[in-house]
Structure 1
Amino acid sequence: MLGSRRRPDVATEITADDLLQTPQAPAVFTGRINLVEQAVNILCETNQVHIAILGAGGIGKTSVALHIMQNLLIKEKFADRYYFIPCEMLPDATKLMQGLVQAIGLQVAQGKGPLDVFLAYLKGDKKVLLILDNFETPWNSKGQTEVKNLMEHICSAKPVSVIVTMRGTDGPGQIKWHKLGGQSGLPALELGAAKEAFCSFSSNGEYKIKEEDPIWEKLLIEMNGMSLAIMLIGELAKELTLNELMEMWNIQKTEVLKKIGEQDNRLPVLKCQFS
């Protein structure tokens, strides 16, 4: 049960360093600028709004959230009170609560619990933006009811706006979520944006793709507009020709992406399945 008393046994499991290593918004970012602008406008023009960035693993949810957070208008509105919390390391309500306290840098005085301190901070007179990335981890835990209760506490605090990124087509709980990209979540990248992204990832100063090359388009269609798949196959294109990539893809498919994905433990979605 999520309570107001701090659990000392989990205090050493998650550190502020774990949570404060916020990744930079990716430099290669195609086909999503309009969604970022839409989210920024909503956040800046509304006193309180909760945004859900939904979709399959690898569709680009985290990248969109990072570009929203690092927008100059967002930084201006929320000053230094915007926080990116990587929830893949927070698998239940207790650890989620601890992670929020750590990320914000709150001090829990003797006789106080982390929940009390956290809610008191949220109910201050300044705007706060929380970005809860990979929120499906705590949400799909056995203690979903406790996570739901915590989220309702958070979202009921008037100065607080929340962005969640998570797999699926629905935001958590009964909270009124603005689904960025539509009811089904983020759309797949259109072919033109996919081509632009692929070229940016695969370019090494020598590698060139001919617009008329039918293999290029066929290969990208196989990626189903998934941002992560396009990035990974683009990285492989630095060493392999399009013919080699297509042949490898036809034979191995998912394994092609896993080989390069296993080199980066920052994103667990690198091991998600593409078929």
Structure 2
Amino acid sequence: LPAPPQIFHGRKTELRDVIDILTQYTPARIAILGPGGMGKTALATAALHHPEVIKKYTERHFISCHATATCQDLISVLADHLGVERGRHLARRIARFLKYAPPTLLVLDNFETPWEANETRSEVEEFLSTMTAAAHVALLITMRGAERPAKVKWTRPFLLPLRPLEDAAARQMFIAIADDRHEQSLVTQVLKLTGNLPLAVSLIASVVSHEGCEKTLSRWHAEKTRLLSDGYDKGSSLEISLMVSLTSSRMTPEAQELLNLLSILPDGLSQAEVLHSKLPISNVLAAKSTLIQTSLAYVDLGKTLSVLPPIREYVRGVYPPSPALKAALRQHY
């Protein structure tokens, strides 16, 4: 099992919700949803190591689905992890293995990888349903986006997709990495760049820890999200994490156009503006729905379609809106 997260702030309520479902419901079926970099894996890992969960489940398994592009990949990885010998009818034999196993918790991390392709989605959902037929097998998945796979009876109440950290929690996380020796007003400026996205907070705090706030702010103005992208994977590079979402098979050209437009609008677009601004985007409501489903955009309390600052900065630099979109926006305003 991966080690429990040592720096883990601002998810007390969500962690309690996950633990309550895992320990009080049979069968337990949970999907932790949200954008990339929002701390889904950290939350799942924290729950996996909680004493109440350990007490209930004799077997606990954490399986990364990051490299499982197809349903067959998923079946093979799961079989290897559980110790089920490969061969014919492997999915059926995994289900039989789980049927006679003691109380078991399966955590499937990055489940969007095998699930999101339209051509394999139904097969993956069918396998997930078969695998969790036994009531004593609890399922916890993490997925980018705001959709849950079909064919599984997810435990209610559903967990809401994870949102950015509260300001106090983001500051706690920053201090845990960068120490509490920096001028508070500068820390506030630095944290504002992150939108309280946990991955961005962690990465920028690491930069501040050896460069200080002032130099970090100067570098951000010159480098933008490249400053947070020296890592080699989506857990250590903001740009790699964002590209995973932007290249999702769920994205459409229309959704990309709308996202490009939102990247130059810090205040977002109201529902009325989405409907009546005469943007040259075909089926703009479907585009909006796609951005919400992939968690690249969200609707805030004021019912405004918005994008988190790190996503906005990256998209604006790599996919600026077309001249036609800009012209339509100028005409509207």
TM category (shorter chain) comes to: 0.7 to 0.9
Q: Which of 249, 260, 263 lines up with 2:220 in the alignment?
A: 249
CA positional deviation for 1:269: 6.7
Separation in 2, partners of 1:179, 1:99: 29
Kept in 2, the 8 Å contact 1:50–1:176? The answer is yes
SS of the equivalent of 1:239 reads helix
Separation in 2, partners of 1:179, 1:257: 37
Q: Say if 2:173 is the partner of 1:197.
A: yes
Give the equivalent residue in structure 2 for 1:272.
Answer: 241
CA positional deviation for 1:214: 1.9
How is 1:84-95 mapped onto 2 (pairs within 5 angstroms)?
84-95=62-73
Q: Which of 74, 78, 84 lines up with 1:106 in the alignment?
A: 84
Q: Say if 2:10 is the partner of 1:23.
A: no
Task: Tell me: CA distance 1:66–1:179, structure 2 relative to 1, closer, same or farther (3 Å).
Answer: farther
CA RMSD of aligned residues (A): 2.1
Q: Which of 122, 136, 140 lines up with 2:98 in the alignment?
A: 122
* Unpaired stretches in structure 2, ≥5 consecutive residues: 243-309, 312-333
Deviating beyond 4 angstroms after TM superposition, the runs of 4 or more aligned structure 1 residues are 178-182
Task: Tell me: CA distance 1:180–1:233, structure 2 relative to 1, closer, same or farther (3 Å).
Answer: farther
* Residue-by-residue CA offset, 1:88-142 (whole Å, 9 max, x unaligned): 011110010011111112235x7x5322221111212622211000001000233
Kept in 1, the 8 Å contact 2:235–2:241? The answer is no
Separation in 1, partners of 2:221, 2:154: 40
Q: Report the residue type matching 1:238 in the other structure.
A: S
Give the equivalent residue in structure 2 for 1:169.
Answer: 146
CA positional deviation for 1:182: 4.4
SS of the equivalent of 1:106 reads coil
For the pair shown, which has the larger CA radius of gyration, 1 or 2? 2
Higher helix proportion: 2
Give the equivalent residue in structure 2 for 1:45.
Answer: 24
Separation in 1, partners of 2:237, 2:99: 34
Q: Which of 125, 129, 134 lines up with 1:148 in the alignment?
A: 125
* Residue-by-residue CA offset, 1:131-185 (whole Å, 9 max, x unaligned): 00000100023311211110111232222111110101111114233488843x0
CA positional deviation for 1:266: 7.5
Kept in 2, the 8 Å contact 1:134–1:165? The answer is yes
* Unpaired stretches in structure 1, ≥5 consecutive residues: 1-21
Task: Tell me: CA distance 1:39–1:121, structure 2 relative to 1, closer, same or farther (3 Å).
Answer: same
Separation in 1, partners of 2:84, 2:31: 26
CA positional deviation for 1:241: 1.5
Task: Tell me: CA distance 1:242–1:266, structure 2 relative to 1, closer, same or farther (3 Å).
Answer: closer
SS of the equivalent of 1:188 reads coil
Question: Which stretch has the larger CA shift, 62-71 or 152-161?
Answer: 152-161
TM-score (norm 1): 0.81
* Residue-by-residue CA offset, 1:15-74 (whole Å, 9 max, x unaligned): xxxxxxx42122010001221122112111112111110000000000000000011111
How is 1:187-226 mapped onto 2 (pairs within 5 angstroms)?
187-203=163-179, 208-210=181-183, 213-226=184-197
Separation in 2, partners of 1:258, 1:68: 28
Separation in 2, partners of 1:179, 1:225: 28
SS of the equivalent of 1:41 reads helix
TM-score (norm 2): 0.68
Task: Tell me: CA distance 1:31–1:76, structure 2 relative to 1, closer, same or farther (3 Å).
Answer: same
Instruction: Report the count of equivalent residues.
Output: 242
Kept in 2, the 8 Å contact 1:122–1:154? The answer is yes
